[in-house]
Amino acid sequence: MKGEQTALLLGFEPFNGDNVNPSQQIVDALAGAIVAAHRVAACTLPTEFARVVAMTSDLIAKYRPSLVLAVGQAGGRDGISIERIAVNVIDARVADNAGDQPVDAPVIDGAPNAYFSTLPIKAMLRALQNARISAEISNTAGTFVCNQVFYALAHLVATRHPDMRSGFVHVPFLPEQARRHAGAPSMELQTMIDATRLCLEVALTTRDDLHFAAGATH
Ligand code: PCA
């Protein structure tokens, strides 16, 4: 439809020897959906440091989205993690899917140390809480490929696309993955799909974020 706006939803390929990644299944499930009058363009990125930044920028040039939400797997976390902050550092504890394992490298040389999400993270959290979906604000997206993409998106917003907004949500293991990681928490795929759709909807319809305490003491 002419004039229709786009929301870009990004997921990631399985990594670290796993054969599934819930973020890929989530973005596949929401591809083509209409959420708050935006068509969802969905894409799964390779979990590879060397490729994702250019791919992300190409996708933005192609779709010209008004909003980008990236979703990644954070095995071990027990709910939806709405990320607040992206940092300009890569410190990989495991190799990516190309065998690369950079340590203490900047995402973008010379760029600011960190960026905040420009999505309404507290409003997203409140919506998930109201839907009885386990969720929290997270103050670190790690220092692996997800943080790299989150940071690169934020840098594009800050430097080249002032009208675009971007943010990141981490999701737990699927039940089938948790069975392979003793004691790890998990969440059903459908709950994660519902949560992601809700986050998108709230982000697309909320300009002024809510303010209630959801920080961390450590
Ligand atoms: N999670 C990893 C990379 C890909 C993904 O889904 C991360 O949190 O960096």
> How far, in Å, from the CA of 6 to the mean position of ligand 1?
24
Q: What are 7-53's pLDDT values in tens digits?
A: 999 999 999 999 999 999 999 999 999 999 999 999 999 999 999 99
Q: What is the reported pTM?
A: 0.98
Q: What Cα–Cα distance (Å) separates residue 150 from each residue in 133, 158, 189, 211?
A: 23, 12, 22, 23
Does the Cβ of 23 fall within 6 Å of ligand 1? Answer: yes
pLDDT tens-digit series, residues 128-169: 999 999 999 999 999 999 999 999 999 999 999 999 999 999
* CA 50 to centroid of ligand 1, rounded, Å: 14
**Cβ-defined contacts of 36-39 (< 8 Å, 24+):** 36/7, 36/200, 36/201, 36/204, 36/205, 37/4, 37/5, 37/204, 38/4, 38/5, 38/6, 38/7, 38/66, 38/67, 38/200, 38/204, 39/1, 39/4, 39/5, 39/6, 39/7
Question: Which atom of ligand 1 lies closest to the CA of 141?
Answer: 8
Q: Is 20 exposed, middle or buried (0-12, 13-18, 19+ CB in 10 A)?
A: middle
Q: Is 72's C-beta closer than 6 angstroms to any atom of ligand 1?
A: yes
